[in-house]
Each structure stands twice: as structure tokens, then as C-alpha cells.
């Protein structure tokens, strides 16, 4: 598939899941021979179903657009960002350093939890982030996605508005 507008999410104008997975595969293929690492942040807005239910889809979509802008602003230049669906986002960053990934994740958690103003109403939405590192946690694109998804699940089990793994923790 080529990088066309049809592969962009209609709400956020970020790449959709299919386009992101293609870019992820290419990035992994390029990183492996040079043994350079990659960081995948899997970002989920906590309890976003409640926002949809309480404010309606149109207002919830405005929050999704704003969350996409916030994530884009905080990610380093050259990062690949996507909306994977629903309230899930991904950021693929060059380098596989857990401390740098955790610093980026902490910034994103803070930025995402700043109030969103929708029709003069302040709405606080937190996020949870799973971190997957190549080659530390996986050796291929599918494995990196699974690793980041598992880490996101652990972050949510830890109470939401957090990231997993924390710096210094070696996770398979």
C-alpha cells in the first residue's frame, strides 16, 4: 500500500493502523542490519468510552484530534505517529533506550492529562502507555507490536495514567 490520503485516519489525519504497520515493518527491516534500536509507544486514552457516552461522538472526536496534536508536538522529529483505532495511538521513535522512552512517555502522560476544553467544559482524560523496544523486547515488527500491547495492558492493570515498563525494569 502506498502512503496516500486514503490511509489516513478520518478524524485525526494521522496514518491509520494499516499504514502504520507498513511503516513499522520498514523501520524494523532498516534497523536490524545496522543493529539500531526502535521504540514503540502504544498509547491508550483511559476510559474514553465514558467520554463518548457523556459528551457524544462529535465532542469526543474533538478530544481525539487534540490528543493527536499533543502527542505529535511532544514526539521527536522523525517519529512515526498513528491512530490505531478507537482511542489508541502509536508512536515509533528511532533508538531503543528505555530511559529515553520513559522520559518521552512521562511527557506524553502529562500532556495528555492536561484538561481539554470542549464547548466551555473542561474535560480531563488520562492515558496509559506501553513501551516496546527493539531489540530488547522483540526482534521483528509483529513482536514489537505485541510487546508494546502487553506493556500497555500491564500499565492499565497498574492503575492507568502510567507507563510500563518503568525505567530500569528488563521485560520480555
Helix (H/G/I), strand (E/B), else coil: 68: helix
User: Which residue is catalytic, options 9, 44, 46, 87?
Assistant: 87
Nearest alpha-carbon partner for 87 in 124, 42, 154, 142: 42
In 3D, which of 136, 156, 112 has the Cα closest to residue 36?
136
Q: Among this protein's residues, is 87 annotated catalytic? A: yes
Rounded Cα distance, 42 and 123, in Å: 22
Residue 50, SS3? helix
Give catalytic residue positions: 87
Amino acid at each position: 500500500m502506498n502512503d496516500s490520503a486514503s490511509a489516513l485516519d478520518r478524524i485525526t489525519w494521522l496514518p491509520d493502523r494499516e499504514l502504520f504497520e507498513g511503516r513499522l515493518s520498514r523501520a524494523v527491516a532498516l534497523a536490524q542490519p545496522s543493529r539500531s534500536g526502535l521504540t514503540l509507544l502504544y498509547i491508550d486514552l483511559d476510559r474514553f468510552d465514558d467520554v463518548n457516552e457523556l459528551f457524544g461522538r462529535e465532542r469526543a472526536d474533538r478530544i481525539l484530534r487534540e490528543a493527536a496534536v499533543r502527542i505529535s508536538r511532544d514526539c521527536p522529529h522523525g517519529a512515526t505517529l498513528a491512530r490505531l483505532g478507537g482511542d489508541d495511538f502509536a508512536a515509533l521513535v528511532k533508538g531503543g533506550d528505555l530511559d529515553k522512552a520513559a522520559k518521552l512517555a512521562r511527557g506524553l502522560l502529562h500532556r495528555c492529562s492536561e484538561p481539554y476544553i470542549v464547548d466551555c467544559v473542561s474535560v480531563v482524560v488520562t492515558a496509559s502507555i506501553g513501551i516496546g523496544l527493539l531489540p530488547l523486547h522483540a526482534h521483528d515488527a509483529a513482536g514489537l507490536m505485541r510487546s508494546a500491547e502487553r506493556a500497555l495492558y500491564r500499565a492499565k492493570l497498574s492503575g492507568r495514567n502510567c507507563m510500563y515498563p518503568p525505567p530500569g525494569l528488563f521485560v520480555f
